[in-house]
Chain A
Amino acid sequence: MADQLLQIRRRRSQEDELTRRRFLELVSASAALASGCSPDRPEKILPYTENPRDVTPGVSTYYATSLLIDGFATGLVATTREGRPVKIEGNPAHPASLGATNVWHQASVLELYDPDRGRAVSKRGLPATWDALDAFLARPVTGQGEKLRLLLEPTSSPLVHALVSAVKQRFPASKVTFYAPTPGQVPGAAARALFGATLAPRWDLSHADVVVALDADFLATPHDLRPARDFATRRRVRASDGAMNRLYVVEPSVSVTGSLADVRLARPARRVQLLAAALLAALDKRPDASNGALTRLAGALDDDERRFVAALVKDLASRAPGATLVLAGERQPAEVHVLAYALNVALGNLGATLSFSEQAVPETAGDQDLPALAREMHAGAVDALLVLGGNPAYDAPADLGWTRALQAVPVSLFAGLYANETARAATWYAPLAHPFETWGDGRAQDGTWSLVQPLIRSLHGARSVTELLAIVAGAPRTGDYARLRSAFGAPRGEVRRLDESGAERLEHTDPAVESAWERLLARGFDESTAFPRQVPEPRPAAVTDALTRLAARDAGSGLELDFLRSPTVHDGRFANLSWLLELPAPIVKLCWDNAFFMSPATAARLGIPAVERSEPHPVVEVSHESRSVRGPVVVLDGHADDTVSVWLGYGRDGDERLAKGVGFDAYRLRTNDAPSFASGASVKLRPERYPLAFTQLEERQHERALALTTTLAAYRAHPDFTAEHKRPLPSILPEYRFEGPAWAMSIDLTICSGCSACVVACQAENNVLVVGKEQVRNGRVMHWLRVDSYRVGSAKSARFVHQPMMCQHCGDAPCEYVCPVNATVHSPDGLNEMVYNRCVGTRFCSNNCPYKVRRFNWFDWSVHERANQGSVELQRNPEVSVRERGVMEKCTYCVQRIRAAEIRARIERREIRAGEVTSACAQACPTQAIRFGSLTHGATAMVEWRAEPRSYYALHETGARPRTMYLARVDNPNPELT
């Protein structure tokens, strides 16, 4: 035996060794290959055995579906190729999308293919079967369910709520809890106090001339893109004598909304209530409005705040009733919302820019909140806990002792997309199906019933929340489609029957219902289901109550700690998606990490040394109520003093491989009584340093004509201030003969909020691969489109102008002259083309590009970086090459879409229509700041914008004659505050 082993080993080593004979063999074989003596093995073609319906190989199919974020549905259109979803766009007809998407919608298709998703049922960490789980779910507890508890994520889905009711019917004594770590909507308690009903506000930003955002990041609402669109329509100055709205923002950190503010006041979140009270004191003229509490709150303002309030009050009072809007953010307590509503009432906005409707995600659906559930668990009052979605072991308030509480529960189940922290603590784990794998439904913010339609068969045989709930409820195992279909058919007079096997069978007696259903599926939602708008009668006593409560409450002092939803990974649920981890966060431009953010003054006071962004950053230990967390500090201009803000959602420790070890977990500082911001934190500088990956190292433009800014007054006085930046320049180069359509882009910096949806949309469309934190630090990030954010105004009340920057498709492109191999050339329709197969990687072109938009493949990223491997490869756009090592790449103006439209037009024997082609970035943009099209299509916004006085070419003096034109950012500051 040993001899044999030895022989084998010897043979192996002989094989490994490169003998002369072996060398000659290899040389002759490669020579034979090189000379083509033997033809390559032919590639295989595998046709279908049976053609699937609706699938034409090589042609995309589009399905209307929805995605629920924070429980609210946003209508989407998914592109599938040969049965696999490859791209997500907004549904133009859906009220919460209007054709736009945000970063999470764009990345949802990556989540579907995430190789780290849970694949199999397990029990106590060992593999188990669905049958075993079904047996448990069918009888989780005995009796009336006194010891059965359910924990779900807040949702608007009528289907889920119907099944929860069914569970309650079977187990009347069981209790249901809905929990999400970050608030998804403004607290309904405010409307309940003021109007006597739990209602959700409906803002109409398209009619507001003055918008006051009190810690409200309404331009970045994760599930509703309407506020951003409405705001932009009122914001955009159409001509030099045009009007625009004015935005006042009070906030602790720098949000997307704050970066666009005309007047920005950086203040800790706890001071927002004082400002709201001071505004109310000045604006509410009813005799019973003023009382001791109000004057006490309003009197606590400092000088800057007083100046701000005085100017704002004057501005608000000068406007017509109903032409303003005061918004408070969902992070603020209900009392502040009462004050904000009262301000709107006083300003005459109720019924004009503010109305109300039923809550789409009903706050009152649960029986108890999470702390009550945790108390029961600690007390041993829970025998079986079913956690369907979410991740409470990671994101529950730290003082609830969730993990210990779970140990006191004999049997628990966690069902989720990933085997995360909660899965590890639970008895059972069941993989949940992705929303693109199941049938389902939801409601948009305004109540519109939207369908969730599967795009692909479940990749891992996972199930939906509703299927699991149905087993617990003892409902027939009909599947989600049948449930949804009968929910649609039943009110229309269709009947459901049980067949002999006990399974539910639908009898569609009415063809009209069936065709209505088909129409609904094609459209994706039913607009007639939107909740009616209400204008309720306010009860003034509620305002006094709120003021009294606020005045009695200790507002807190010392250092404030602000817990913010991450602009990239949300509350941690998207933490394993490489696109989002590598997405430079809006304004901060930090990726692959979170950090503690503070103002320069606070950092100096705490003795934190200033560092460049490229250097390793100082690390601090932040403590709050006996808990402490370490993390790097990033000093941010425009951040409020005496405040430390931090993104939640990082520092994950589940089975998600990419998320593991990225950033730190700020949930460990968060307690139940102060979930959004807390006072009394302390910061201690640590000796160590930590490197961070930023994609933009400089926040100022240094007098270069990149992103031009002006004020409305200055624009009116000098409409031609950009003339210098678009005048004809002399050129020694021969004129290029353009023909056919002339592709071009116009980008309005006034309405670009820097949300970065375009960046992820471009990544999804163009197979842009991620490179990892180390390579981002080396400056090798591959994004074809980046959003540069430059500071406007003083460091203290900093605002930012955002400039989406991608290849400008120059007419006299500097990259083209220097390429030694003609790898970058011009097309007659004005595109600057990149021919990967010609590129030899000299990088001269990148060196000569004034906009620095060319990206070099330092490695074969699809091999070099783990995040690009595995099932995520299924997402790749088949119309775009995946670039190899050693070639340059850059924005192509989505040439694959242009050529596809051209082919369509040629087949139909017509010219390309105006608006037929749009780029991925323009399609995703929530504010429609990016417009794409042909210069030959005169009647489009893209062309009309270019004729506006404030249009200009970036870095015009280089003479590159770009095709992309920018429109200067116009701000509308209050003259009294400048």
Chain B
Amino acid sequence: MAGLFPPWSDPLLRGALLAIAGGSIIALAVLMLYVRTPYNDQRAYAVEQPVQFDHRHHVRDDGIDCRYCHTTVDRSATAGIPATELCMGCHAQIWNQSEKLAPVRASFFENAPIRWNRVHDLPDFVYFNHSVHVHAGVECAQCHGDVASMPLVAKVQSFSMGFCLDCHRNPEARVPNYHLRTRRVTSTDDLLARAGARVEDNPLLTCSACHR
């Protein structure tokens, strides 16, 4: 009696089994590698904006401080996107005919907000507060990168929970002298007494620090 399957079906079956096993491992590996790439957290893209606002020009060439436009960064949870009137403060005078600024003028005169695209989009269950970080000595660039050299702003950090915790667990690594600057120095004696002493004022690591 002839075999139920021809002889060549054996290697085929082995090959198929190997392909299934190997394929799933490769698929898994691809996914695991993917989440580690900038593609996963949208770091790979610079986000298009309705106005071709160039931070390189404003920050590097003109030397405008971040807080000139992002006014609430040291007193509110949000850094603040400037109101159109702030743009017009200068651009009513200079480049006031520029084609590139047409959407800004339209916004101002029609009293319609400019619809910017969010680049750093934290999930809604995260309650991040800019002011406390700025006051703790965290520089803008530590999270946002060298915005002064970005024609279009792109994320440079993953902004994952791991990214936050890296710094919260070991602030000294990112913020030099963190433990020496988190308490107000009231007198010279105070300063001397504290010289070299660590102030135990660690950043919060507890869940409700950010999730409520």
Contacts and interface: CB of A to CB of B under 8 A. Distances in A.
Interface of A: 35-36, 39-40, 42-51, 56-59, 825, 827-829, 831, 833, 835-837, 879-881, 892, 895-896, 899, 902-903, 906-910
Nearest to A835: B207
Q: Is the interface of B mostly helix, strand, loop or mixed?
A: loop
Contact of B132 (A827, A892, A906): A906
Contact of B84 (A35, A47, A902, A907): A47
B92 interface: no
Contacts of B206: 825, 827-829, 831, 833
Contacts of B80: 47, 57
B119 A42 contact: yes
Contacts of B42: 39-40
B116 interface: yes
Between B31, B108, B115, B207, the greatest number of chain A beta carbons within 10 A of the residue's beta carbon is seen for B207
A35 B182 CA distance: 42
Contacts of A837: 125, 211
A56 B3 CA distance: 82
Nearest to A883: B125
Interface in B154-212: 182-184, 201, 204, 206-209, 211-212
B60 interface: no
A118 B193 CA distance: 66
A442 B108 CA distance: 41
Contacts of B212: 879-881, 892, 895-896, 899
B40 A46 contact: no
Contact of A45 (B77, B81, B85, B211): B81
B93 interface: no
A827 B207 contact: yes
B131 A907 contact: yes
A836 B76 CA distance: 25
Contact of B115 (A36, A40, A44): A44
Contacts of B211: 835-837, 881
B84 A899 contact: no
Interface residues of B, number: 50
A57 B72 contact: yes
Contacts of A881: 124-125, 211-212
B209 A57 contact: no
Given A58-B72, A833-B207, A896-B212, A909 B183 contact: yes
12 contacts: A35-B31, A49-B84, A49-B108, A57-B78, A58-B76, A59-B76, A831-B208, A879-B212, A896-B212, A903-B131, A906-B135, A909-B183
Contacts of A879: 127, 212
Nearest to B45: A39
A833 B78 CA distance: 24
Nearest to B136: A906
Contacts of A910: 184
Nearest to A909: B184
Nearest to B118: A43
A899 B209 contact: yes
Q: Is the interface of A mostly helix, strand, loop or mixed?
A: loop
Nearest to A837: B125
Contacts of B151: none
A47 B70 CA distance: 11
Nearest to B76: A58
B76 A56 contact: yes
A253 to B, nearest CB: 40
Contacts of B124: 881
Nearest to A44: B115
Contacts of B115: 44-46
B99 interface: no
Interface string B46-65: 01000000000000000000
B68 to A, nearest CB: 14
A835 B117 CA distance: 29
**Closest 7 interchain pairs by CB?**
A909-B184, A827-B206, A58-B76, A42-B117, A47-B81, A58-B77, A46-B113
Contacts of A35: 31, 34
A892 B132 CA distance: 22
A256 B193 CA distance: 58
Nearest to B80: A57
A828 B200 CA distance: 14
Nearest to B131: A907
A44 B81 CA distance: 11
A903 B182 CA distance: 12
B135 to A, nearest CB: 4
B78 A44 contact: no
Contacts of B86: 51
B83 A47 contact: yes
A848 to B, nearest CB: 20
Interface string B106-142: 0110011111111101001101010110011000000
A910 B77 CA distance: 19
A673 B129 CA distance: 62
Given A44-B117, A895-B208, A49 B107 contact: yes
Contacts of B136: 906
Contact of A48 (B113, B183, B209): B113
A829 B208 CA distance: 11
B82 interface: yes
Nearest to B84: A49
A835 B161 CA distance: 14
A47 B47 contact: no
Given A35-B34, A58-B76, 20 more contacts: A35-B31, A43-B117, A44-B116, A44-B118, A45-B117, A45-B118, A47-B84, A49-B112, A51-B86, A56-B72, A56-B76, A57-B76, A58-B77, A825-B206, A836-B211, A881-B212, A896-B212, A907-B132, A909-B182, A909-B183
A304 B75 CA distance: 66
B116 A907 contact: no
Given A49-B111, A57-B78, A880-B212, A899 B127 contact: yes
Contacts of B209: 899
A167 B124 CA distance: 54
Contact of A47 (B77, B113, B131): B113
Contact of B85 (A50, A899, A903): A50
Between A49, A837, A892, the greatest number of chain B beta carbons within 10 A of the residue's beta carbon is seen for A49
A47 B107 CA distance: 11
A829 to B, nearest CB: 8
Given A43-B118, A827-B208, A907-B135, A50 B78 contact: no
A384 B85 CA distance: 51
A50 B76 contact: no
A36 B119 contact: no
A56 B74 CA distance: 11
A142 to B, nearest CB: 45
B184 A59 contact: no
Contact of B182 (A47, A56, A906): A906
Interface in B91-110: 107-108
A49 B113 contact: yes
B132 A42 contact: no
A902 B86 CA distance: 32
A49 B78 CA distance: 17
Contacts of A47: 80-84, 113-114, 116
A649 B34 CA distance: 62
Contacts of A825: 206-207
Nearest to A877: B212
A380 B28 CA distance: 87
A40 B115 CA distance: 16
A910 B186 CA distance: 11
Contacts of B111: 49-50
Given A44-B117, A909-B182, A899 B83 contact: no
Given A42-B117, A43-B121, A907-B132, A49 B85 contact: yes
Nearest to B35: A36
Interface string B12-31: 00000000000000000001
Contacts of A50: 83-85, 111
A596 to B, nearest CB: 43
Nearest to A895: B208
A49 B83 contact: yes
